[in-house]
A = this chain, B = another copy of it.
């Protein structure tokens, strides 16, 4: 999941009755926008949906295989390149066309050994994760008093107290945009007021003593200080200790390094179009992950559902007019180089549509769409055909960190929207593992991607940005 890219997240769990109601409403509402696409697509969509649901294990099993074989896959890691090579080989075995990898130079940050120890009022090792891009501490670590603030405003108001301290941002969970800001901008704000390091309470709504990693930023005009994530439990504990009048001191040790850029690759395979093979519907997710857990939902799932959607269409003998391309972009998490490289290499190809799945492959609810009003009618008509699986909603805007660069060249874009209730529980943590995903929900994501991509690729008309 990209920084700040949360428009696609929904928090409405689907229940059977609600799903049924949506289905009925959608069918009723369909009368109008359905005119935007030929009626024949209803049968095609139903065939795709039935076939996707008949094979309710294939996509889940493949997410698990990718996750298990290679584990987490941070840019610059051997595991990432092995996962990319395996994807090339396996896509070829599956009969995808034009399977290839395309070289991309990526940042290469390595975490190294790290620890956080409470040293006063008592000693205890605290679970932590250095934030992506952070500098190291000196080898002996940084030992300093902790100052707890709940917001940037509080830090500003108490700026005079921060000099020489470690600032701890302890903000209650609101949403990923709000809480993620302490992770992304926390080191800059803390350094500005003289702090020697900073800690951010894990940016997630739930914790089993779970730190969350993710990318962070420096500002070229401000001293760089080390920046790490602590658990919600420990942030609250340190706050309580200070409220009791105790002086809290910790020792932070980090040995993170930014190495020279490394070679990575975008990976892709196609279903070539029958009439206009040079026009492209591109869809996918990112093959890289953070260096924790197995990167199953962030974002092996996004890569696999696009790939499986093509496999399903081939199995059904459905060849659209244009080419459908499934891509695993590299380096979404800490650089976005894969998305930029894809744009640079492929911007001359006419793209009919770009679709990204990077919010977890939970129950699909529909797609967010960014494009012209005319194209929105078409997309809404296609969406209507996904009512049988509860995925007919077309949200007001869509995209994704990997396709945004391409979209900026004038390509309509979409993000798969899912029931994201628990996504941020696991995202960027050691708990991002395949068991959190449901086989049937994953199969429905494949169906949604396949129906949207196939019809968009097969339409007479061009979609417009």
Contact = CB atoms under 8 A, between A and B. Distances in A.
B435 A208 contact: no
Interface stretch (A62-70, A404-412, A445-453): A62-70
A124 interface: yes
Contacts of A293: 209
Give the 4 A-B residue pairs with the shortest CB-CB distance, closest first.
A208-B208, A208-B431, A209-B430, A233-B433
A58 interface: no
B122 A70 contact: yes
Contacts of A210: 208-209
A109 interface: no
Interface in A406-465: 425-426, 429-431, 433-435
Contacts of A233: 431, 433, 435
A263 to B, nearest CB: 21
Nearest to A71: B124
Given A208-B208, A208-B426, A210-B208, A241 B68 contact: yes
Contact of A429 (B69, B208, B240, B430): B208
18 contacts: A68-B237, A68-B241, A70-B122, A79-B122, A127-B430, A207-B208, A207-B431, A208-B210, A208-B430, A209-B210, A209-B293, A209-B430, A209-B431, A232-B435, A233-B431, A233-B433, A237-B433, A237-B434
Interface residues of A, number: 33
B122 A209 contact: no
A255 interface: no
Contacts of A40: none
Contact of A71 (B122, B236, B435): B122
A121 interface: yes
A293 B64 CA distance: 30
Contacts of A127: 430
A425 B209 CA distance: 12
Contact of A208 (B68, B69, B425, B434): B425
Contacts of A124: 71
Contacts of A426: 208
A244 interface: yes
B64 A240 contact: yes
A311 B351 CA distance: 73
Interface in A233-273: 233, 236-237, 240-241, 244
Contacts of A294: 237
Interface string A271-302: 00000000000000000000001100000000
Given A232-B435, A233-B431, A237-B294, 6 more contacts: A65-B240, A68-B241, A206-B208, A208-B430, A208-B431, A209-B210
A240 B57 CA distance: 13
A315 to B, nearest CB: 22
Interface string A50-64: 000000000000001
Interface string A197-209: 0000000001111
A441 to B, nearest CB: 18
